[in-house]
Amino acid sequence: MTNTTNPLLSPFNTAPFSNIKDEHFLPAIKQLIADTKEEINAITENEEAPSFENTIEALEQTGEQLNRVTAIFFNLNSAETNETIQKIAQEVSPLLSDFNNDLLLNEELFKRVKKVYDNRKSLSLSPEQKTLLDKQYKGFARNGANLSEEKKETLRKIDQELSKLKLTFGENVLAETNRYELHLTDEKDLSGLPDGAIEEAATTAKEKGKDGWVFTLAYPSYIPFMTYADNRELRKTLALAFGSKGFHGDELDNQENVLRIANLRHQRANLLGYDSHAHFVLEERMAETPEKVHDFLNELLEKAKPAAQKEFDELEAFAKETDGIDQLQKWDGAYYSEKLKQKLFDLDDEKLKPYFELKNVIDGVFTVANKLYGLSFEEVQDIDKYHPDVKTYRVTDTKGELVAIFYADFHPRAGKRNGAWMTVYRQQQIKNGENERPHISIVCNFTKPTASKPSLLTFNEVTTLFHEFGHALHGMLANTTYSGLSGTNVYWDFVELPSQVLENWCYEKETLELFAKHYKTGETIPMEYITKIKESATFLEGMKTLRQLSFGLLDMAWHGSDPSGIENVKGFEVKAFGSTKLYPDVPTNCMSTSFSHIFQGGYSAGYYSYKWAEVLDADAFSYFQEEGLFNKEVAQKFYTHILSQGGTEDPMELYVRFRGRKPDPEALLKRAGLLQNS
């Protein structure tokens, strides 16, 4: 296919979505892999002695178009997929895995990189150049460059199989999510549900050509049902369906995939000289070792467990007193938590939602970014989109200069996986003297507007939007020389700091008054609601913390030791959850078979990083609280030392420059109410 017919093979600024057809991807990616190999050959065939410029910098600049096209492809596979794209992904993933291995196992290339690395002390490199050199050298050494030919071949096979297994895992979870529906025709079964959820379910039923109401496993349908539906049996039905994704012993079962992924990761780590996959991963993290992660998780567990148990007992007593329920089950948790929250704080999402119209919340997060970092957002119609729902913005600074292009995709649809994420279509870099600005996207799954109401968010969805926007700011405000160190290209347990710190603003009066206005009357959210949001922020925090710790411990159980003896996925999981268990186990449910973060996404041996980053974010936010929520000086420091720096230096050094000291873990425990303020 020539450049004239394939838009992905011509240079482009913003992604040319409207011209891209599914069949363009495979030939384009094959061609761009070949082109990138040529660029690499030019480095290895260079007869001049290896230098930072002709080897390290040259290597950093290879494969730019390939990276851009694969970023477009894989985001579409998550946000707007179909069977064709999924088939292409199964073909493309091993090709990219092979290419990556060809690169990392290229002896001539490694020799040149090693030569520069060995001479590094005699070179006068900037901190960013030192980091790039270190990252490249480790990239080779940690991925088999020093292995024998035979072992390199084994590594290739493992990587190929892993890339396919991870895709299959994700496809199974999506197919399970899409194929289940709870179809109700009796209005009595809707008791307790908010109008918005009922209207949404009626729309879904209509789309599917059915009478009545259809509830699904997509979050905006599932969560309101579990939180408000009075019919306990129906909550149980839906919870059992949600919790058993990939665990039915049928063609979408993920048990074998989980075992195979865990075992292959372990074999890979052993091959490279590491005790486990976690040892391999954590070498390039702030946490450094599995021991430190276990200590960190267990220390929090020790603090959170008594509080969580007390909260659970109170919740169970409340359920018994309210409805005579003897034993609290997993399908009761959200329902009675909400009821208890309403009783204690006279506050519920349905009261708050009218104040959180999506359009206003977007304006709110933009205003926060403007007050902190001087950014302006203008919605524009001249940028290509992959779906009509997507919104596009030009982001500029106080001088009117372009900072970034920003895409936002807010609502669920059949071709979109659950959850929320940020992605990069073009990395920021300084090339040929020009600062190329980034193209950043966030994808969420918020309740759609209905015939009678605009999209109204729960408070939880408001914090999700702020979270993803925090990641987006990290990408948008990047200001580094090299794209591989730009924006969110940082240690994994540091990447959540900008996202989690921004969530804190949602709880503050100064922020809420900017955007929380009633969608009908325009009235600003009443002060009493703001007080209650603040008061209820630590409601059941012990249980929430325990839940997060349970996921981190499950992840470390899968990846921190040899999994070859594991025969039963469910049995293994039950054991891993032992120290964090509150609810009775549900034999037909299994979390591992749909734990996409660790078996499909990039969080394997890294789920702990959410809590790790919470320590950083609580400490960082306390600085803003001390100096003022929109204090320009503190914001400038955060921009200068964190947001603009990407992965150019050791994250702890960057943090200390911002804060003047290392983070204090007590800030998190205080904020969570797990440590009484002395």
569 pLDDT above the threshold of 50: yes
173 lies in some domain = no
Displacement of CA 172 from its chain's centroid (Å):
19
Same domain, 101 and 204: no
Q: What is the 3-state secondary structure (H, E, C) of 584-642?
A: CCCCCCCCHHHCHHHHCCCCCCCCCHHHHHHHHHHHHHHHHHHHCCCCHHHHHHHHHHH
Indicate which residues carry an active-site annotation.
Answer: 468
| pLDDT at residue number 42 | 98
pLDDT in tens, 352-366: 999 999 999 999 999
Q: Is residue 518 part of a domain?
A: no
Q: How much is the pLDDT for 37?
A: 97
Residue 3 pLDDT exceeds 60: no
Q: For residue 520, tell me if it sits in a domain.
A: no
Q: Which two tokens stand for residue 166?
A: 């991870």
pLDDT at 605 over 50: yes
**What is the mean pLDDT of the segment spanning 309-313?**
97
- Residue 222: pLDDT band with limits 50, 70, 90: very high
Q: Could you tell me which of 308, 285, 305, 303 has the C-alpha nearest to residue 559? A: 285
Q: Give the range among 383-392, 400-409, 460-469, 663-672 with minimum mean pLDDT.
A: 663-672
Q: Considering the domain boundaries, does residue 630 fall inside one? A: yes
**Cα–Cα dist 255/258, whole Å:** 5
pLDDT tops 60 at residue 515: yes
Residues 365 and 480 in one domain: yes
Looking at the structure, tell me whether residues 213 and 127 fall in a common domain.
Answer: no
pLDDT tens-digit series, residues 526-548: 999 999 998 898 999 999 999 99
Q: What is the pLDDT of residues 74-97, one digit of tens each?
A: 999 999 999 999 999 999 999 999
Final residue of a structural domain among 478, 501, 524 = 501
pTM for this entry: 0.87
Q: Is 527 exposed, middle or buried (0-12, 13-18, 19+ CB in 10 A)?
A: exposed
**How far apart, in whole angstroms, are the C-alpha atoms of residue 480 and residue 519?**
41
What pLDDT score was predicted for residue 84? 96
Residue 182 is inside which H or E element, if any? strand 182-184
Q: Any idea what the CATH number is for the domain that residue 51 is in?
A: 1.20.1050.40
pLDDT of residue 670: 86
Measured in whole angstroms, the distance separating CA 129 from the mean position of its chain's CA atoms is 28
128 within a domain of the structure (yes/no): yes
Q: What is the average per-residue pLDDT within 152-163? A: 94
547: domain range?
249-336+538-678
CATH code, 466: 3.40.390.10
pLDDT tens digit sequence for 255-269: 999 999 999 999 999
In the chain, the N- to C-terminal Cα span, in Å, equals 69
State the DSSP H helix or E strand holding residue 672, giving kind and residue range, or none if neither: none
Which residue in 369, 439, 430 sits closest to 403, CA to CA?
439
Predicted pLDDT of residue 2: 43
What CATH number has the domain bearing residue 319? 1.10.1370.10
Would you mind telling me the total number of residues written for the chain in this entry?
Answer: 678
What is the spatial distance between Cα 512 and Cα 527, in angstroms, rounded to a whole number? 10
Residues 598 and 675 in one domain: yes
Total count of domains within the chain: 4
Mean pLDDT estimate for the chain: 95
pLDDT of residue 676: 52
Q: What is the pLDDT of residue 1?
A: 40
365 and 488 inside one domain:
yes
For residues 497 and 566, membership in a common domain is answered with: no
Task: Tell me: do 571 and 624 sit in the same domain.
Answer: yes
Residue closest to 425 by CA, chosen among 411, 442, 412, 413:
442
Q: Looking at the domain assignment, is residue 169 inside a domain?
A: no
Using pLDDT thresholds of 50, 70 and 90, give the confidence band for residue 643.
very high
**Both tokens of residue 258?**
């989980």
Q: What is the pLDDT of residues 379-417, one digit of tens each?
A: 999 999 999 999 999 999 999 999 999 999 999 998 998
Is residue 396 located within the same domain as residue 258?
A: no
Is 565 a member of any domain? yes
Judged by average pLDDT, the poorest of 3-7, 229-233, 312-316 is 3-7
594 and 672 in a single domain? The answer is yes
Q: Examine the domain organization and report whether 207 and 239 are in the same domain.
A: yes
Q: What is the pLDDT of residues 575-596, one digit of tens each?
A: 999 999 999 999 999 999 999 9
Domain boundary pick from 501, 520, 555: 501
Same domain for 239 and 255, yes or no, is no
- Which domain-ending residue is among 501, 516, 549? 501
Same domain, 489 and 569: no
How confident is the model at residue 669, as a pLDDT? 85
675 — pLDDT class (breaks 50, 70, 90): confident
Helix (H) or strand (E) holding 168: helix 149-179
Model pLDDT, residue 678: 31
Q: For the residues 431-440, what does the mean pLDDT come to?
A: 96
Residue 191, pLDDT above cutoff 90: yes
Contacts 24+ apart (CB under 8 A), 671-677: 671/538, 671/618, 671/621, 672/304, 672/538, 672/541, 672/545, 673/307, 673/538, 673/541, 674/303, 674/304, 674/307, 674/541, 674/542, 674/545, 675/303
Strand-pair partners of 184: 213
Domain-embedded: residue 526: no
Contacts of 210 (CB under 8 A, 6+ apart): 183
**What 3-state class would DSSP assign to 348?**
coil
* Alpha carbon distance 606, 587 (integer Å): 27
